């Protein structure tokens, strides 16, 4: 155990019932600073629900969440809003604010939530857009951006808040194949720069070398977890490896 590495996020025994069905049945995990955790597993397994529970977009029915060692009391609104500022969220379908251009999409939360002065917020937003390679698209509205550009704006929007951890919910699965690369490159850069992230994805190959741990989710539980070299090694007899092989077969070019 390396005691120098601080735990950023800890979740214990999260349960969630949606529409009478138990989607999460006791999920726990610990995320250390700078780690990239990959959530993988069949759809309906609870990955997306878990990420939304971590951000309390869906309040968990049971379980506790700790950020930097202190428990988050999500019933206290001020505490919940403060917590969410520190936990970025990237959605599958981007969810950029449709009435704001790229720059304002990134700066609005700085101005209205963090109460940062407009000019300063604008500078910060520009800097973040530059970081994701979109400094020439600041004036464009979401309807004028490609899917890949939209997702990069949404990453810039999350980064501008200086989050301690970013949750990514299948960030590339709504994208055309030729646009996936530009988004994954940004995510790889983030991982290299030490950003703490939990990502649900099927694009595992690209980020495998940077992944600290793969969590395989099925039926609302993490049924396997471990570093990719262990879970995906050729002689590993894991559900996860079987699943990933299947994915590979599906995307293999003829």
Partner 1 sequence: MDWDFYGQHLIPALNDGLWISILLILPSATGGLALGILTGTIRTFGPPWLKRIGNFYAGIFRGTPLVVQLFILYFGLPNIGIYLSPYAAAVTGFILCSGAYQSEYIRGGLSAIKRGQLMAAKSLGFSSTGSIFWIVLPQAMRRALPGCGNEIIYLIKYSSLAYIITCIEITGQARDVATTYFRFTESFFVAGLYYLALVSIAGIALGKLEKKLYIPGFGKQH
Applying CB under 8 A, which of residues 144, 162, 176, 229 lies at the interface with partner 1?
144
The nearer residue to partner 1, 48 or 201, going by C-beta atoms, is 48
Applying CB under 8 A, which of residues 36, 65, 109, 168 lies at the interface with partner 1?
109
Picking from 201, 216, 135, 206, the residue whose alpha carbon sits closest to that of residue 171 is: 201
Query: In the 8-state DSSP scheme, what is residue 142?
Result: G
The nearer residue to partner 1, 29 or 51, going by C-beta atoms, is 51
Contact between 161 and partner 1 per CB under 8 A: yes
Residues that bind partner 1 (rule: CB under 8 A) add up to a total of 31
Q: Tell me the torsion sign for CA atoms 80, 86, 90, 96.
A: positive
Residue 251 burial (CB count, 10 A)? 10
Least Cβ distance, residue 252 to partner 1 (angstroms) = 32
Q: In the range 32-71, which residues lie near partner 1 by CB under 8 A? A: 52, 55, 57
The nearer residue to partner 1, 187 or 214, going by C-beta atoms, is 187
The nearer residue to partner 1, 154 or 203, going by C-beta atoms, is 154
* Strands (E) located in 114-208: 165-169, 197-200
What the block records as the tokens of 244 is 């990933």
Dihedral Cα 173, 53, 223, 249, nearest 10 deg: 0
Least Cβ distance, residue 211 to partner 1 (angstroms) = 23
Q: In the range 78-107, which residues lie near partner 1 by CB under 8 A? A: 81-82, 84-85, 87-89, 91, 93, 95-99
C-alpha–C-alpha distance, residues 131 and 124, integer Å: 11
125 alpha-carbon distance from chain centroid: 20
C-alpha–C-alpha distance, residues 90 and 167, integer Å: 6
Residue with tokens 């894991």: 238
Least Cβ distance, residue 199 to partner 1 (angstroms) = 15
Interface residues with partner 1 (CB under 8 A)? 52, 55, 57, 77, 81-82, 84-85, 87-89, 91, 93, 95-99, 108-109, 112-114, 141-144, 154, 157-158, 161
């Amino acid at each position: 155990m390396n005691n120098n590495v601080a735990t950023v996020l800890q979740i214990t025994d999260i349960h969630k019932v949606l529409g009478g069905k138990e989607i999460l049945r006791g999920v726990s995990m610990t995320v250390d600073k700078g780690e990239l955790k990959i959530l993988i597993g069949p759809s309906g397994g609870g990955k997306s629900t878990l990420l939304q529970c971590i951000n309390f977009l869906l309040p968990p029915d049971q379980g506790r969440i700790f950020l930097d060692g202190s428990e988050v009391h999500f019933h206290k609104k001020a505490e919940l809003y403060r917590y969410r500022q520190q936990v970025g969220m990237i959605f599958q379908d981007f969810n950029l604010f449709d009435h704001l251009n790229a720059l304002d999409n990134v700066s609005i939360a700085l101005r209205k939530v963090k109460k940062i002065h407009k000019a300063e917020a604008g500078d910060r937003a520009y800097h973040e857009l530059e970081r994701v390679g979109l400094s020439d698209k600041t004036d464009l509205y979401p309807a004028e951006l490609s899917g890949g550009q939209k997702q990069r704006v949404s990453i810039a929007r999350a980064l501008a808040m200086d989050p301690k951890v970013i949750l990514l919910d299948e960030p590339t699965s709504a994208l055309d194949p030729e646009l996936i690369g530009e988004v994954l490159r940004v995510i790889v850069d983030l991982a290299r720069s030490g950003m703490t992230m939990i990502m649900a994805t099927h694009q595992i190959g690209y980020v495998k070398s940077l992944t600290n741990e793969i969590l395989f989710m099925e039926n609302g539980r993490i049924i396997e977890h471990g570093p990719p070299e262990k879970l995906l090694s050729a002689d590993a007899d894991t559900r996860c490896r079987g699943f990933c092989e299947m994915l590979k077969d599906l995307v293999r070019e003829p």
